[in-house]
Amino acid sequence: MDAAERDAVLLYEAIRGTGSKCDRALIGILCTRTSAQLFLIKQAYYTMFSETLENHISGVDTCAADFHKVLFHTHILLPLFSRFFGHEI
């Protein structure tokens, strides 16, 4: 298992769970990876779970769903926009 696959599994488990430990796992992965690493993680996530990371995060139906949506918008979408602007956000 490579680093992207490991992170994909950790994200999957964190999204399915609840509580501060899961939130810390999400923050720890999504806030410390580069755009290139996030791209590889998203590819591994789709390959392993047959669902995009974005869809899984946006489909979370728990009290922490708003928190997950903030993570989705700030750390999944912004790296994609950085390509348009030509720099890392």
Domains in the chain, start-ordered, CATH in brackets?
Answer: 3-85 (1.10.220.10)
Burial track 55-68 (b if 16+ CB lie within 10 A, e otherwise): ebbeebeeebeeeb
Pick the closest to residue 3 from 31, 39, 54, 27 (CA basis).
Answer: 39
Q: 50: phi > 0 → left, psi -120 to 50 → alpha, else beta; which?
A: left
pLDDT for 9-51, tens place per residue?
Answer: 999 988 887 666 777 887 788 888 888 898 899 999 999 999 9
- What's the whole-model pTM score? 0.68
Q: Name the amino acid, one letter, at 23.
A: D
